[in-house]
Amino acid sequence: MASVMVTEQASRRILVLDPGKGVWDPAADPGVVRWAFSPLGDRRYADLEPESSWVYPSEAKVRRHRGRILVLTTASFGFVGVVEWPGGRRYWGTAIGPGDDLFNPHTAEILPDGNVAVACSTGARVRLYAASLGPRATRYAEAGLKGAHGLHWDRRRRVLWAMGDDELVAYEVTGSAARPALTRLFADPLPVAAPGKSAGGHDLFPVAGRPGRMWVSTSAAVFQYDKARRVFVQDFAGVEEISRKGVKCVGDDPRTGRVVTTVPEPGLGETWWTTTVSLHRPPGAYKLVGGGIYKARWWLPV
C-alpha cells in the first residue's frame, strides 16, 4: 500500500506516514514518519521568510518531473515551494504576500516545461510562474478566477484545469517557457446544493487509472468530472460513503482502489483541522495523535 502524505498544520510540516500503522504517534514512535519537510530554519528557503509565510500548509502533491521526484506545497500565508525528494533541495519557490491573506495560495501544479501554476483563493487568480528559469524566478502570467482552489495539468489534452468557487475552467498555456501566457478556453459550472448558492469548489485531482476523469470536491459533495462529456457525475463505486459535506481532499490508489479523504472534525485548534484520514473501499481510518491535518494524499509520484 502506498504511503500517506499529509499537510500537518499543527506542527507546520509535510509528513509522509507509514500506511501499515492505524495510529500515527510520531512522538512515541518516530518510525511512523517516512519523510518530513518544513522550510523553517532551512537556509535554502530563507529568502521566502517561512517564519511568516509557512503558516497553515495547505497542499502537498508528489510529481515525477524529468527524472526527479518533486513535492509541490503551498501555505496559506504565502509560501509556495517545489521541493526535491528526499533531500529537500529547492527546485523553485516564492512567497506571495507573506503574512497577508490577500492571495492565499491553495495549491500548485508543475507543467512539462518546468513552470509552476499556483491557485490563489483569496486573491481570486491563477498564476503561472516561469519556474523553469531557476529556483528564484519571479516572472508570471495570471488569470482571474474567483475562489481559485484546484489545479491539474492534463497531459493528454495539454490544458491546465483550474477550479474556483463556482466553475471548472480549462486554460490553454501559450507563449514560451520564459514568457508563458494563459488563455481561457471554456468553463463548466460546478453543481450547487441549492439555487443561488455558491458551489464552493475545493479539491481537484486526477482519478487514478481513468485519465478521462477528475475528482471534484465542493462544499456539499464529491463528484467525478467526465472530460469528454463535460459533466459532473456520481456513478463511481463507494459514492455513498465518499461524497459528503466539507471534503478537503479526495484521491484513489490505482493498485488497491482505496480512496482517501479528509473532513474537519470539531474540538481542534482550527475549524478546518482533523486528526483523521478517512479510507474508503473498504472503509477505515488513520489517526494522527495531536494532529491538525488539512489534506491527505497517497504517495504516488505521477
From CA 211, how far away is CA 199, in angstroms rounded? 24
Are 193 and 200 spatial neighbours (Cβ–Cβ below 8 Å)? no
Residue 284 belongs to domain with CATH number: 2.130.10.10
Task: Identify which of 176, 185, 94, 171 has the alpha carbon closest to the alpha carbon of residue 126.
Answer: 171
**What is the residue-wise DSSP string for 126-165?**
EEEE-GGG-TT---EEEEE-TT--EEEEETTTTEEEEE-S
Residue 221, classified by CB atoms within 10 Å of its CB into exposed (0-12), middle (13-18) or buried (19+), is: buried
Identify residue 142 by its one-letter amino acid code.
E
Give the count of beta carbons closer than 10 Å to the beta carbon of residue 122.
Answer: 16
- List per-residue pLDDT tens for the chain, 302 residues long: 899 999 999 999 999 999 999 999 999 999 999 999 999 999 999 999 999 999 999 999 999 999 999 999 999 999 999 999 999 999 999 999 754 556 899 999 999 999 999 999 999 999 999 999 999 999 999 999 999 999 999 999 999 999 999 999 999 999 999 999 999 999 999 999 777 789 999 999 999 989 999 999 999 999 999 999 999 999 999 999 999 999 999 999 999 999 999 999 999 999 999 999 999 999 999 999 999 999 999 999 98
Grid cell, residue 5, equals 502524505
DSSP assignment letter at 191: P
Are 83 and 135 spatial neighbours (Cβ–Cβ below 8 Å)? no
Task: Identify which of 56, 60, 48 has the alpha carbon closest to the alpha carbon of residue 98.
Answer: 48
Identify residue 218 by its one-letter amino acid code.
T
From CA 153, how far away is CA 177, in angstroms rounded? 15
Domain containing residue 101: 4-298
From CA 188, how far away is CA 11, in angstroms rounded? 38
> For the chain, how many structural domains are there in total?
1
Q: Which alpha helices (H) appear in the chain, and where do they start and end?
A: 50-53, 239-242
